[in-house]
């Protein structure tokens, strides 16, 4: 069955960097696009970024453009989110999810990122 | 960006009740809409995609309808495991956007 396991979350100070990983198994990773979605404590879902299966197409929400980079290593079945210049408002649980290009099909359990001084 | 607005924000209902949640898009998204269920401390789960297609394994008491800017999620007979928060999401354009969520609580 599909399994997505996020890691790399933690507590960081504002302005610092963090790299999240999402290890995929149970499906042909290279055939699927992948999203990152976040959820601030007690708040709703917020889409962050997507990378298409062929890696060339990437889209970001405006508030993370220029600071976050989504990437993937199909040889390792792993999705990444490099987060630089972190801000307090980036504090959230970050989920990775598979996509059929439109909808978010399967989700990981999430990893918590806390940005605080 | 396309704004997604859900109503109500919360609803109290009893086991066996029929419940309908509405989602409105700020512009025409055709049928590019999904519904997700999220329980406390858990990841969201896809229930319905393309406005009305039930995801594999989702009970048939869940149904979706609508197109353009107006969509609904209906649960025909509430079960104890259905008490959760529900989100709609547009898949027409980037950035993908979600509704603010509807919390379904036990009366």
One pLDDT digit (tens) per residue for chain B, 107 residues: 999 999 999 999 999 999 999 999 999 999 999 999 999 999 999 999 999 999 999 999 999 999 999 999 999 999 999 999 999 999 999 999 999 999 999 88
Q: How confident is the model at residue A43 (pLDDT cuts 50, 70, 90)?
A: very high
Residues A53-78: what's their mean pLDDT? 92
**Whole-number pLDDT of residue A56:** 73
Q: How confident is the model at residue A17 (pLDDT cuts 50, 70, 90)?
A: very high
Q: Which residues contact A66 (CB under 8 A, 6 or more apart)?
A: none
Helix (H, G, I), strand (E, B) or coil at A81: strand
Residues A62-73: what's their mean pLDDT? 97
Q: Do B43 and A95 touch (CB under 8 A)?
A: yes
Interface test with B, best of A37, A42, A63, A104 (most B CBs within 10 A): A104
Q: Does B87 touch chain A (CB under 8 A)?
A: yes
What count of other Cβ atoms lies within 10 Å of the Cβ of residue A97?
25
**Whole-number pLDDT of residue A108:** 98
Residues A70-98: what's their mean pLDDT? 97
pLDDT tens for A19-42 read 999 999 999 999 999 999 999 999
Distance between CA atoms of residues B77 and B92, nearest Å: 30
With CA atoms as reference, the chain A residue closest to B36 would be A104
What count of other Cβ atoms lies within 10 Å of the Cβ of residue A35?
23
Q: Do B49 and A102 touch (CB under 8 A)?
A: yes
* A104 contacts A96 by C-beta, under 8 angstroms: no
Residues A65-76: what's their mean pLDDT? 96
CA A94 distance to own-chain centroid = 6
A53 has pLDDT over 90: no
A55 has pLDDT over 70: no
A60 has pLDDT over 70: yes
Q: Facing residues of A93 across strands?
A: A39, A112
Question: Chain A partners of B55 at a C-beta cutoff of 8 Å?
Answer: 105
Distance between CA atoms of residues A97 and A103, nearest Å: 9
**Whole-number pLDDT of residue A101:** 83
Q: Facing residues of B48 across strands?
A: B35, B54
Pairing of strands A10-12, A111-115: parallel
């Amino acid at each position: 069955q599909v399994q997505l396991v996020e890691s790399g979350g933690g507590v960081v100070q504002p302005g610092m960097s963090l790299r999240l990983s999402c290890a995929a198994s149970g499906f042909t990773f290279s055939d699927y696009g992948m999203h990152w979605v976040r959820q601030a404590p007690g708040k709703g879902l917020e889409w962050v970024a997507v990378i298409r299966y062929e890696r060339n197409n990437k889209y970001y929400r405006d508030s993370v453009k220029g600071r976050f980079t989504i990437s993937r290593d199909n040889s390792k079945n792993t999705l990444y989110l490099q987060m630089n210049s972190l801000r307090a408002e980036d504090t959230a649980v970050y989920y990775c999810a598979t996509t059929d290009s439109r909808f978010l099909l399967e989700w990981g359990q999430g990893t918590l990122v806390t940005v605080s001084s | 960006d396309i704004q997604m607005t859900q109503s109500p924000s919360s609803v109290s209902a009893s086991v066996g009740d029929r419940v309908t949640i509405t989602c409105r898009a700020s512009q025409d998204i055709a049928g590019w809409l999904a519904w997700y269920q999220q329980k406390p401390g858990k990841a969201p789960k896809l229930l319905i995609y393309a406005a009305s297609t039930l995801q594999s394994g989702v009970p048939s008491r869940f149904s979706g309808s609508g197109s353009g800017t107006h969509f609904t999620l209906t649960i025909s007979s509430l079960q104890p495991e259905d008490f959760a928060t529900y989100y709609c999401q547009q898949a027409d354009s980037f950035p993908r956007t979600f509704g603010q969520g509807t919390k379904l609580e036990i009366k």
